[in-house]
C-alpha cells in the first residue's frame, strides 16, 4: 500500500478500512434522502438513486486516488434542497435548466481551483459572513424539512401555522425527529440512517406505509436524467446570481468541511497540496454530477467519523466509495422508505449548520445585521440567493454608513453588485 503512504501517515490497512466503513455508515443516508428531495422536481426517483450512488462512488474514489485524503464526497445537503424547492418549484425553472446552473457553477469552481481567484474569493468574504451563510442554509433546509413533514403549514392569516398532529404521517415525522435527535446525541455511528430505517420499520408495521417489495434488485438506469442539462437556458443574466450562489456556497462549504476535518487531524501539509487537490476533485465532481443528473457535489462533514477512527489517507475514501456500490442494489428498500422518515434528517442537518452562529461576532453592527438578514431571509423568501443578497447588501451599506472603509474590499463590492441583479431583473 505504498501508493497511499500508509506508514508515512502513521496508519495501516486495517485502520483505513475500518475508517472507510465508518464513514460509509454515517453518510449512507444521502442516497435515499437526495433521491426523495430531488424527485419533487419531477425527476424519476429510481434514476436519482442510481445517479446519487454513482456520483458518490466516482467523487469519493477519485479523491482517494488523486488527493490521497480520507474525505468522502456526495450530493450536498442544502443546495439539493435549494435546487428543488428554490429553483424548480419556487422560481419555476425546469430541472434541466437547474442542472445547467449546477454545471456552470461547477465549471467556475473548477477554473478557480487552478487559480488564485479561489483564495481571493475566500478572503473577500469575512469569516463571520461565511458562517452566517452556513447558518442561513441550515435554517432554510430545516424549514423545508418541517414544512414537508406537515409540522408547519401555510396559514393565510399569519403565513405559517402548526400542522395537524392527529395525522399519522405527521406523528411519524415527529417520531423520526425524536429518533434522529436521540441517536445523534448519543453519538451513535450511522445515527441518520439508523433513525431513517427504524422510523420506516415502524411505519411499515403500523400500516402507515407499504412494506418494501424486496431488499435488493439490479440498479435502475439513470439514462432519463443523464446529459439532460440545459446550459443555454441557464446562461442568462437573471440566473447569474443563482450561479454565483451555488459557486460561493459550494466553495465555502467545502473549505469549511476540509478545515474542520482536515486540519484537526493534520491531513493537510503546509504547502496546501492535498487541500488543493481535494478542492479540484470537489469541483470536477460537481461538473460530473450535473452531467449525471444531480445537484452540487461537495465534501461531506461525515468524513470526520472516519478520521476519528484513524483514517488518514485516500484508502479510507476509496473504501467508502466502493462500499457505496452496495446502495446501487438497494432500490426496493429505498423506494419503500416513507418521506416522513427522511425529512427529519433535513431538520437535524439544519440544526448542525445553524450552530455556526455561536462563532459569530455580533458586537460588530454590520456583521450582526447581515447575519440576521441572511438567516431570516433564506427561509422566508425560500431562496438562498435572496438571503445572501440581503446579507451582503446590508453589510456593505452599514460599513459605508459607519465609514469603516478598511473592511470593504473589491470582492465584497463585486458580490454585492451581483446580488443587486436579483432585484433588478425580477
- What does the alpha-carbon distance between residue 26 and residue 192 come to, in Å, rounded to a whole number? 7
The pTM score is 0.81
| Res 271 pLDDT > 60 | no
pLDDT given for residue 260 in this prediction:
62
pLDDT tens for residues 225-246? 999 999 999 988 888 888 888 8
Residues for the chain: how many in total?
426
414: cell is 463585486
Return the H-helix or E-strand segment holding 154.
Answer: strand 152-155
Residue 138 φ/ψ, nearest 5 degrees: -60, -45
pLDDT in tens, 360-374: 999 999 999 999 999
Closest CA to 242 of 358, 380, 112, 88: 88
- Please answer whether residues 323 and 50 qualify as being in contact, where contact means their C-beta atoms are separated by less than 8 angstroms: no
Q: Among 49-53, 188-192, 246-250, which range has the highest average pLDDT?
A: 49-53
What pLDDT, on the 0 to 100 scale, is given for residue 77? 81
Q: What is the DSSP string of 268-283?
A: S-TT-HHHHHHHHHHH
pLDDT at position 268: 60
Average pLDDT over residues 118-144: 80
Q: Which residues contact 269 (CB under 8 A, 6 or more apart)?
A: none
User: Looking at residues 179-202, what average pLDDT do you find?
Assistant: 90
Are 61 and 318 in contact, with CB atoms under 8 Å apart? yes
- Position 206 confidence tier, pLDDT thresholds 50, 70, 90: very high
320-361: pLDDT as tens digits: 999 999 999 988 888 888 989 988 988 888 888 888 888 899
Cβ atoms within 10 Å, residue 8: 10
> How confident is the model over 189-206, as a mean pLDDT?
90
| Residue 104 reports pLDDT greater than 80 | yes
Q: What is the DSSP secondary-structure string of 4-43?
A: GTTTTTT--HHHHHHHHHHHHHHHTTHHHHHHHHHHTTT-
First-residue to last-residue Cα distance in the chain: 56
Binned at pLDDT 50, 70 and 90, residue 272 comes out as low
Q: Nine-digit cell at 365?
A: 453592527
pLDDT value for 73? 92
Contacts 24+ apart (CB under 8 A), 397-406: 398/365, 398/366, 398/369, 398/370, 399/366, 402/365, 402/366, 404/366
Contact 257, 302 (CB under 8 A): no
61-70, 207-216, 220-229: least confident range: 207-216
Whether 259 contacts 37, CB under 8 Å: no
pLDDT, residue 12, reads 86
pLDDT tens-digit series, residues 79-92: 888 899 888 998 89
For residue range 13-51, list pLDDT tens digits in order.
888 888 888 888 888 888 988 999 999 999 999 999 999
Cα distance between residue 59 and residue 80, in whole Å: 17
Q: Can you tell me the mean pLDDT for 186-207?
A: 90
Residue 160, beta-bridge partner list: 154
For residue 176, the model assigns a pLDDT of 94
Q: Which of 71, 113, 123 is nearest to 265 (CA)?
A: 71
pLDDT at 140 over 90: no
- Residue 181 reports pLDDT greater than 90: yes
- pLDDT value for 114: 75
d(CA 82, CA 256): 19
- The pLDDT score that the predictor gives to residue 269 is 59
What percent of the chain clears pLDDT 70, i.e. is strictly above it?
92
pLDDT tens per residue across span 51-81:
999 999 999 999 999 988 888 999 988 788 8
Grid cell digits, residue 284: 470536477
Give the pLDDT band (50/70/90) at residue 383.
confident
Amino acid at each position: 500500500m505504498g501508493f497511499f503512504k500508509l506508514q508515512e501517515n502513521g496508519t495501516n490497512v486495517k485502520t483505513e478500512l475500518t475508517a472507510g466503513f465508518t464513514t460509509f455508515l454515517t453518510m449512507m443516508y444521502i442516497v435515499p434522502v437526495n433521491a426523495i428531495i430531488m424527485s419533487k422536481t419531477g425527476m424519476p426517483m429510481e434514476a436519482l438513486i442510481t445517479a446519487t450512488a454513482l456520483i458518490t462512488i466516482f467523487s469519493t474514489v477519485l479523491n482517494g486516488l488523486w488527493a490521497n485524503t480520507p474525505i468522502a464526497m456526495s450530493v450536498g445537503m442544502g443546495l439539493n434542497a435549494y435546487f428543488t424547492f428554490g429553483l424548480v418549484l419556487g422560481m419555476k425553472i425546469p430541472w434541466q435548466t437547474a442542472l445547467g446552473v449546477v454545471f456552470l457553477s461547477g465549471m467556475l469552481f473548477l477554473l478557480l481551483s487552478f487559480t488564485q481567484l479561489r483564495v481571493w474569493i475566500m478572503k473577500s468574504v469575512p469569516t463571520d459572513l461565511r458562517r452566517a451563510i452556513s447558518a442561513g442554509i441550515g435554517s432554510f433546509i430545516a424549514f423545508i424539512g418541517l414544512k414537508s413533514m406537515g409540522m408547519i403549514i401555510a396559514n393565510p392569516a399569519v403565513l405559517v401555522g402548526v400542522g395537524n398532529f392527529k395525522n399519522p404521517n405527521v406523528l411519524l415525522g415527529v417520531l423520526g425527529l425524536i429518533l434522529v435527535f436521540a441517536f445523534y446525541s448519543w453519538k451513535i455511528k450511522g445515527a441518520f440512517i439508523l433513525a431513517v430505517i427504524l422510523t420506516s420499520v415502524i411505519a411499515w408495521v403500523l400500516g402507515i406505509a407499504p412494506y418494501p417489495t424486496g431488499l435488493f434488485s439490479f440498479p435502475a438506469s439513470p439514462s432519463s436524467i443523464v446529459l439532460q442539462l440545459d446550459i443555454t437556458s441557464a446562461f442568462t443574466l437573471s440566473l447569474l446570481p443563482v450561479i454565483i450562489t451555488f459557486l460561493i456556497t459550494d466553495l465555502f462549504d467545502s473549505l469549511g468541511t476540509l478545515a474542520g476535518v482536515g486540519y484537526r487531524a493534520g491531513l493537510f501539509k503546509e504547502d496546501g497540496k492535498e487541500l488543493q487537490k481535494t478542492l479540484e476533485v470537489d469541483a470536477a465532481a460537481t461538473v460530473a454530477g450535473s452531467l449525471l443528473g444531480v445537484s452540487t457535489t461537495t465534501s461531506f462533514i461525515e468524513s470526520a467519523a472516519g478520521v476519528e477512527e484513524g483514517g488518514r489517507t485516500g484508502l479510507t475514501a476509496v473504501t467508502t466509495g466502493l462500499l457505496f456500490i452496495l446502495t446501487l442494489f438497494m432500490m426496493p428498500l429505498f423506494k419503500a422508505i416513507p418521506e416522513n422518515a427522511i425529512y427529519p434528517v433535513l431538520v437535524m442537518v439544519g440544526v448542525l449548520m445553524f450552530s455556526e452562529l455561536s462563532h459569530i461576532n455580533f458586537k460588530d453592527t454590520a456583521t450582526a445585521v447581515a447575519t440576521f438578514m441572511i438567516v431570516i431571509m433564506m427561509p422566508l423568501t425560500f431562496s438562498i440567493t435572496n438571503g445572501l443578497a440581503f446579507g451582503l447588501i446590508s453589510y456593505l451599506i452599514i460599513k459605508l454608513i459607519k465609514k469603516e472603509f478598511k473592511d470593504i474590499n473589491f470582492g465584497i463590492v463585486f458580490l454585492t453588485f451581483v446580488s443587486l441583479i436579483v432585484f433588478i431583473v425580477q
